[in-house]
Amino acid sequence: MTSMQAVSGAGRSGGVLVLDALDNIVPYIVGEEEKVQREVAKIFGTFAGGAIAPAPIAVSCTCTRANVLEGHTETAFVDLAKPASVEEVISAMRAYAPRELEGLPTAPKAGLIHVHDDPFRPQVRLDRDRGAGMVTSVGRVRKDTVFSSGVKYVLVSHNTKMGAAKGAVLVAELLKTQGLLKN
């Protein structure tokens, strides 16, 4: 995976200044590649005994800072556990709508992933605010010839909405419906 992360992802302290990113892509974000590897393993891990057991997933990534105010773009290369056609991958992405999120105020109404057929999409300015910033836009889904069961695609996600504040609110709404929050 390669990420081209918005300057707003740097926060207010210590990150890349907007002027440093002007007409530029900064090729390194301190600690971000290790964080991505840890977080992916946790997301796909299992919860048991009050702790998360990370999934045994290998992640190779490069994280860069790009001249974009909000919205992260990623190019992903995935080796699937079993062969699937591009059409099956697209169908699975379009169908992904966790039942647990149905009816939650912050959840997008039309699913979490929007797949574009246009090879020039997704684009940050055009797609970061889809579903009020809570939908990930995917495009250019195609076969990857390096992996035996590989696919590759481009995605855009809003880093300060789904990736931060509104995403945290959505998690809190889910925890409340599951009775996991104290009043």
CATH number at residue 21: 3.30.360.10
Q: What is the pLDDT of residues 101-117, one digit of tens each?
A: 999 999 998 889 999 99
Q: Do residue 102 and residue 133 come from a single domain?
A: yes
Q: Do residue 125 and residue 105 come from a single domain?
A: yes
Residue ranges in the chain whose pLDDT is less than 70: 11-17, 183
Give residue 156's domain range.
Answer: 75-183
Query: Of 28, 53, 69, which residue sits at a domain end?
Result: 69
What are the residues whose beta carbons fall under 8 Å from the beta carbon of 8, sequence distance 6 or more? Answer: 69, 70, 159, 160
Q: Do residue 83 and residue 159 come from a single domain?
A: yes
Q: Do residue 183 and residue 99 come from a single domain?
A: yes
Q: Do residue 92 and residue 130 come from a single domain?
A: yes
Query: Of 49, 69, 89, which residue sits at a domain end?
Result: 69
Q: Do residue 105 and residue 164 come from a single domain?
A: yes
pLDDT (0 to 100) of residue 13: 43
What gap in Å lies between CA 148 and CA 146, rounded to an integer? 7
What gap in Å lies between CA 86 and CA 69, rounded to an integer? 32
Q: Count the domains in the chain.
A: 2
Q: What is the pLDDT of residues 144-169, one digit of tens each?
A: 999 999 999 999 999 999 999 999 99
Q: By the 8 A CB rule, do 72 and 4 touch?
A: yes
Q: Do residue 176 and residue 130 come from a single domain?
A: yes
Please spell the DSSP secondary structure of 91-139, one letter per residue.
Answer: HHHHH---GGGTT-TTS-TT-SEEE--STT---HHHHTTGGGGT-EEEE
Q: Do residue 13 and residue 98 come from a single domain?
A: no
CA quadruple 53, 55, 58, 60: dihedral sign? negative
Query: Of 43, 69, 95, which residue sits at a domain end?
Result: 69
Q: By the 8 A CB rule, do 173 and 105 touch?
A: yes
